[in-house]
Structure 1
Amino acid sequence: MPGTVLLLAASPVGRGRLVDAAGVLPVLAAVAPAVLSGADTANVVELADPLEPQAVLTRLRAAAAAPGPLTVYLTGQLHLDRRQHRPHLALARTTAATVRYTALPWHWIREELRLRSAADTALVVDLHADAEAWKHITAHGLDCGPYTAVYGRVAPPARRGLAEPAYMKTVATLLRSGHRPPLGTLHEQALSRIPEETRGNLLLAHAGGWTAAGTATTAPAGGAPGVAAPVIPAQGIPAQGIPVPELPAPWGPAAARPGDQSGVPVGDRPGEPAGRPPADPESVGDPPADPEPSGGSDPHAAISAAVRGGLHEEADGLAARYEEAAAREHGAGSEQALHWREVRADLAMFAGDPVRSCRAWLAVAEARLAAGQAADAPAVEAAVDRAHHQWGRIEDPAPARELGPALARLRLRVPGRRRGALENVQRQLGRLQAAP
């Protein structure tokens, strides 16, 4: 089975540029695709200084949906948006004032990869942070989720001049030998070659999986790993998950295609309850551990297998059992129970039942709002976006007319990140109500 490689290098044009990110692409492109991937063959997608976060999201989503191993080589710079103080990957048009709208939210990357297996999903990163982002990341870590192996470094802003992506260039040089060692070994080899360039950096080395806490260290004067820095640990469910199809936009074209920028930015995609207190929008993280009525096995792996086999009722039945167990143990409005409600909403989508999926996402959004979560909390925005997406796929006018008013009411409270969402619902609902 061929692998997939995504080469993403991005940094702003002009004075906001901290690192010559695109300069690493010729070195990476000289490496054989199979070596970049670690598979026998591989498809390589290259994005050099992309302009629009939606275009990057579309390519990342397609890569995440592809079968086989996925490796993302990511070079660029991190900034915080001024509203929610969340890390974003700066793109070509990003400025300090437009981070929220022109940069790629880091949690989009985490979310697109969340349902893959850590055994075949890896991020190799060479990132430079501006002063605000550096302060945030050294305090809170860079959360990549428990389902992705992550290796690389985050560097503070350079004191003078344009920084070089020395770590990624070293990785590429090592790979040009024609051999890809285990990524942990490759990471250590790269660091040993550039101790001065990585001095004081935040070094990332996390093999993925639910049993391991993320490893992040700062490199002291010698450049070797040193004192552990704060990092959000991996927690929750094991690393297997439900296969993810390429998702169409919530309205507009029937499916998102490469380069299509009409889709809504979904923020944190649904299905991600908080492993920390839900009142904090930034706390929305990985699913907490769940009760296991069927024993110690991983329910997500069993559900994934059922979906792949077309056994959609069996998959939903298993998820329903876990939802009931979580509700008994933690309460119907708990993050544990909401996680399984979100899983069931996704399962309805996989089964081709947009009515049931839309209804489930509407219920999840209402439950989160009733629990006091903010209208712009990522999990709330994501639930409404998914409900909107599924509502747009309902072909039968009767259930579409039934669910439309509830969606419109939610859109009044949760407009989301893309302008025109409420107007789209109202316009579509008007057409439905006018039809015989």
Structure 2
Amino acid sequence: MPGTVLLLAASPLGRGRLVDAAAVLPVLAAVAPTVLSGTDTANVVELADPVEPQGVLTRLRAAAAAPGPLTVYLTGQLHLDRRQRLPHLALARTTPATVRYTAVPWHWIREELRLRAPGQTALVVDLHADPEVWRHLHEHPLDCGRTTAVYGRIAPPHGRRGPAEPSYMKTVATLLRSGHRPALDDLHQQALARIPEETPANILLAPVTAVAPQPYPAIPHPAPGGGPGFGPAVGAQQTYGGPVGAGAGVSAGTSAGVGAGAVVAPDAPLDIPRQPAPPALEDPVLEDPASEDPAPEDPAPEDPAPDPHAAISTAVQAGRHEEADAIAARHQEAAADEHGPASEDALHWAEVRADLAMFAGDAARSCQGWMEIAGHRLAAGQEADAPAVEAAADRAHHQWGRIGEPARARELGPALAELRARVPGRRRGALADVRRQLQELQEI
């Protein structure tokens, strides 16, 4: 099966440029696609200093929907938006005052990758932070999702005139130009060893363990396209301050190249918390079965508790959509009984069910599910521009545009228009789009 590679280099034009991100693309482009991907064949997509966040989202979504391994090589700079204080990847037109509208929210990247199968996605990053986001990252580590293995570094503001060099990514590219791609753990360590003068001040990103993360859930990613196209198809399960990646650790760099500082170790599973969930949850640290050699006559006991997401994944891949929804419904009901129907536990399973409806081809049920999730969050006091609320409204809007039965779309349209009046989202014209399509539906 061919692999997919996305080369993304982005940084603002003018004085706001912290790193000359695009300078790394010629070096990466000189590497054979199969080496970049680590597969026998590969498709490569290159984005150099893109301008529109939605354009980046479209390319990322298409790459995430492709079967087979996906490797994203990402070079750029991070900023916080002034309203929600969330990390964004700056694009060519980004300025400190326009981050919210001209940069890519980091949680878009995480959510586009979240439904890919475990062990199939790698993110190699060379990121540079401005002073504000640099302070933020030490309290709220960058969250890349449960199933994405992350390698690379985040560099602090360099304090010199002119943009910094993306030396980590250039070193990675130079190593790959040899025609051999080692395991990403080895490639990461080799790159760090070649820039020892920079690593003491960097945040170094690498998985804590090579074991593939637990699925969340590992079900096929929907193909892009369709729908009105408003907002990102992102999930509402936002966990800022979670791990850097699935089973990933963050460490302060040392002169030896590899971080020797305190590791932010993953904590409790997101699936079904056995106690009320904290605002940001992390993945469990898993032991690598290959690292031990248990005696055959006395095997180590295994955890008998099955992962419900894995059962859901198996059912979906076999086309048993009703069975998958029934599993999620049972866990949603249990979470609602224990923590309340508007708790994060119950809403997590509501989100899973809305996604499952989408995979089953029932856009109407998916739309209705996302509208209910947005309503629960608003009723609980969350702001209309909170990422989880915006994401639910965006997904409801997207699924509404995919409903094939005009009568059902007319039935759900007024409720969506009411939701859009409260949650307009980041793209202008969302409410007007619903009203326009409702008018067209009335004429059918």
Matching of residue 264 in structure 1 with residue 241 in structure 2: no
In the alignment, the residues of structure 2 paired with residue 195 and residue 330 of structure 1 have an alpha-carbon distance, to the nearest angstrom, of 49
In the alignment, the residues of structure 2 paired with residue 2 and residue 426 of structure 1 have an alpha-carbon distance, to the nearest angstrom, of 42
| Unaligned segments of structure 1, at least 5 residues | 213-236, 252-262, 278-285
- Matching residue's letter, 2:201: G
Matching of residue 203 in structure 1 with residue 204 in structure 2: yes
Match of 1:99 in 2: 99
State the SS of the aligned residue for 2:223. coil
State the SS of the aligned residue for 2:398. helix
Q: Shift in Å at residue 117 of structure 1?
A: 3.1
- Matching residue's letter, 1:40: D
Matching of residue 150 in structure 1 with residue 159 in structure 2: no
- Matching residue's letter, 2:185: G
Matches within 5 A, 1:297-308: 297-308=306-317
Distance change >3 Å, CA 194–CA 291, structure 1 → 2: closer
Distance change >3 Å, CA 88–CA 209, structure 1 → 2: farther
Residue deviations 1:88-140 (CA, integer Å, cap 9, x gap) = 11111111211111111111111111112341211110011111111111222
Residue deviations 1:156-211 (CA, integer Å, cap 9, x gap) = 12221221010011111111222222211211111111111333111111257999
- From 359, 362, 365, give the equivalent of 1:353: 362
Distance change >3 Å, CA 340–CA 188, structure 1 → 2: same
Matches within 5 A, 1:28-427: 28-160=28-160, 161-206=162-207, 238=215, 240-248=217-225, 250-251=227-228, 263-266=229-232, 269-272=234-237, 288-290=270-272, 296-427=305-436
State the SS of the aligned residue for 1:6. strand
State the SS of the aligned residue for 1:151. strand
State the SS of the aligned residue for 1:333. coil
Q: Shift in Å at residue 57 of structure 1?
A: 0.6
Residue 71 of structure 1 contacts residue 121 of structure 1 at CA under 8 Å; is this kept in 2?
yes
Q: Shift in Å at residue 433 of structure 1?
A: 4.1
Residue 287 of structure 1 contacts residue 339 of structure 1 at CA under 8 Å; is this kept in 2?
no
In the alignment, the residues of structure 2 paired with residue 410 and residue 364 of structure 1 have an alpha-carbon distance, to the nearest angstrom, of 11
Residue 153 of structure 2 contacts residue 205 of structure 2 at CA under 8 Å; is this kept in 1?
yes
Q: Shift in Å at residue 398 of structure 1?
A: 2.5
Distance change >3 Å, CA 375–CA 58, structure 1 → 2: same
Distance change >3 Å, CA 209–CA 364, structure 1 → 2: farther
- Matching residue's letter, 1:299: P
- Matching residue's letter, 2:421: L
Q: Shift in Å at residue 240 of structure 1?
A: 4.9
Q: Shift in Å at residue 276 of structure 1?
A: 8.5
Normalised to the residue count of structure 1, the TM-score between the two structures is: 0.84
Residue 394 of structure 1 contacts residue 400 of structure 1 at CA under 8 Å; is this kept in 2?
yes
Q: Shift in Å at residue 329 of structure 1?
A: 2.7
Q: Shift in Å at residue 287 of structure 1?
A: 7.6
Distance change >3 Å, CA 299–CA 167, structure 1 → 2: same
Residue deviations 1:347-391 (CA, integer Å, cap 9, x gap) = 111111122111111111111111111111111111111111222
Distance change >3 Å, CA 109–CA 187, structure 1 → 2: same
Residue 273 of structure 1 contacts residue 336 of structure 1 at CA under 8 Å; is this kept in 2?
no
Distance change >3 Å, CA 98–CA 422, structure 1 → 2: same
Residue deviations 1:195-252 (CA, integer Å, cap 9, x gap) = 113331111112579998xxxxxxxxxxxxxxxxxxxxxxxx645522211343641x
Q: Shift in Å at residue 47 of structure 1?
A: 0.8
Match of 1:430 in 2: 439
Larger mean CA deviation between 320-329 and 419-428 belongs to 320-329
State the SS of the aligned residue for 2:201. coil
State the SS of the aligned residue for 2:381. coil
In the alignment, the residues of structure 1 paired with residue 269 and residue 389 of structure 2 have an alpha-carbon distance, to the nearest angstrom, of 15
- Pairwise CA RMSD of aligned residues? 2.4
Normalised to the residue count of structure 2, the TM-score between the two structures is: 0.82
In the alignment, the residues of structure 1 paired with residue 269 and residue 62 of structure 2 have an alpha-carbon distance, to the nearest angstrom, of 24
Identity %: 71
- Matching residue's letter, 1:289: D
In the alignment, the residues of structure 2 paired with residue 366 and residue 295 of structure 1 have an alpha-carbon distance, to the nearest angstrom, of 36
Distance change >3 Å, CA 275–CA 132, structure 1 → 2: closer
